[in-house]
Amino acid sequence: MSVYQECAGSGSSLKNTGANEQCLEGLTIRTAVAIPGFSFATKADAKDKDKWDAAIAEKKIFPLFDVEELASANTEDTFFEGRSKQYRTAVGKKVSTYTSFLGLCSHNALKAFHGKDVQLFEFTEDGALLAVNDTDGIKVKGQDVVLTIGKRVPATADRPPGTLVTISYKDFNQFEERGAILRPENWGGIDLFGIFDVTINQVSASSTSIKFTISDGCAGGGQNLDVFEDGDIVVLDGTGAAQTVSFVAPDTDGVYEVTGTGFANGFTVGLDSVVTKASTSYESPSVLTVSGIV
């Protein structure tokens, strides 16, 4: 049997270089990540904020935080110097780092993406969206990356607390060969928000009435929200069975009420999955467990 070996390609052919001007994108100031396999069906969809809001509510896209101190940490190819030629021993990597100045709750959320394979979308200061064309040339996706989330650095006298993020791009050619620089109209990365966790706090409870507030912010430390409506709230009994209730809109203090019969300790009150109001999505990761009914 003879030896058989296929060598790697030697590269693409030369391309024409005619250009009257250079369309240069600005500095990245926000990022968002998408789950593997996600894509927008068309370039128009990728510029449609409603499509972004829907993907956020479906937990397919996760907007991240402000990008500060963006820097390149690229590595170059390494070579062994032979007697008559160079031998490449390692391929250089595309790597970027940046800092986000975050409170403890946002840092904790960002840590969930550590080491994860995700797609990265970048928003620039001049209103561009950096993405890549999918292999079909029609769909649009993010660059394939792995995020490394560093330890939170405490505040100093001249610097707020922050988190170092390292972006390791899986293939630098993905953007250089199939990059898509889009220009959404009338919105940008600063207009995208991730899903807000809410906390539901009991005000009072009886066998026929449960009163409660719904607050946003980390650990429910934010203001009471009055945006929820009938159908947004679900009440379950101790076995997890949904209960039929009547919904009472919140009063001026943001206190909601559901009424019914047979309420008991151990019933739970929560949002019905992810609830979207005016382009902002909310979820109750933990529910209110009713207590104090006598």
SS3 sequence, the chain? CCCCCCCCCCCCCCCCCCCCCCCCCCCEEEEEEECCCCCECCHHHHCCHHHHHHHHHCCCEEEEEECEEEEECCCCCEEEECCCCEEEEECCCCEEEEEECCCHHHHHHHHCCCCCEEEEEEEECCCCEEEEECCCCCCEECEEEEEEEEEEECCECCECCEEEEEEEECCCHHHHHHEEEECCCCCCHHHCCCCEECEEEEEEECCCEEEEEEECCHHHCCCECCCCCCCCEEEECCCCCECCCEEECCCCCCCEEEECCCCCCCCEEEECCCEEECCEEEECCCCEECCCCC
* 276-291 pLDDT, tens digit each: 998 899 999 999 999 9
Q: Could you tell me which CATH class the domain 196-289 is placed in?
A: mainly beta
pLDDT tens for residues 18-40? Answer: 888 888 899 999 999 999 999 99
In this predicted model, what pLDDT tens digit does every residue of 43-55 receive, in sequence order?
999 999 999 999 9
Q: Quickly state the pLDDT bin for 5 (edges 50, 70, 90).
A: very low
> What is this structure's pTM?
0.87
Percent pLDDT > 70 in the chain is 95
Question: Which residue ranges does the chain devote to CATH 2.60.40.1220?
Answer: 196-289
At residue 19, the pLDDT reads: 80
